[in-house]
Amino acid sequence: MLRIYNTLTGQKEEFKPIVEGKIGMYVCGNTVYDFCHIGHARAMISFDVISRILRHLDYDLTYVRNITDVDDKIIKRAAENGELPSDLTERMIEAQQEDEKALGNLPPDREPKATEFMQEIINMIKTLVDKGFAYQSDSGDVFYRASRFTDYGKLNNRKLEEMLAGARVEVTESKEHPADFVLWKPVKEGEVHWDSPWGKGRPGWHIECSAMSTNCLGDHFDIHGGGPDLKFPHHENEIAQSEAATGKDYVNYWMHCGAVRVNNEKMSKSLGNFFTIREVLKLYNPEVLRYLMVSSHYRSPIDYSDQSLNDAKVALERLYNALRDQSCSEIPESSDYRTRFTAALNDDFNTPVALSVLFDLVRDLNKAKTESAELAETLAAELTNLASVLGLLYQDADYFLKNGTFDAEGISADDIEKLIEERKQARKDKNFSRSDEIRDLLAEKGIELLDSREGTSWTRK
| Positions at the binding site for Zn(2+) | 28, 209, 234, 238
Residue 128 CA to residue 124 CA, distance in Å, equals 6
Residue 182 CA to residue 205 CA, distance in Å, equals 8
Are the CB atoms for 381 and 329 separated by under 8 Å? Answer: yes
Report the greatest alpha carbon distance in the chain: 90
Residue 187 CA to residue 189 CA, distance in Å, equals 7
Residue 181 CA to residue 168 CA, distance in Å, equals 12
Please, what sign has the CA dihedral across residues 173, 177, 178, 181? negative
Residue 323 CA to residue 330 CA, distance in Å, equals 15
Calculate the CA 49 to chain-centre distance.
8
Binding site for ATP, by residue number, is 269
Binding site, by residue number, is 28, 209, 234, 238, 269
Closest CA to 114 of 85, 81, 94, 147: 85
Residue 289 CA to residue 310 CA, distance in Å, equals 10
Query: What is the amino acid identity at position 330?
Result: E
Closest CA to 13 of 389, 352, 354, 346: 346
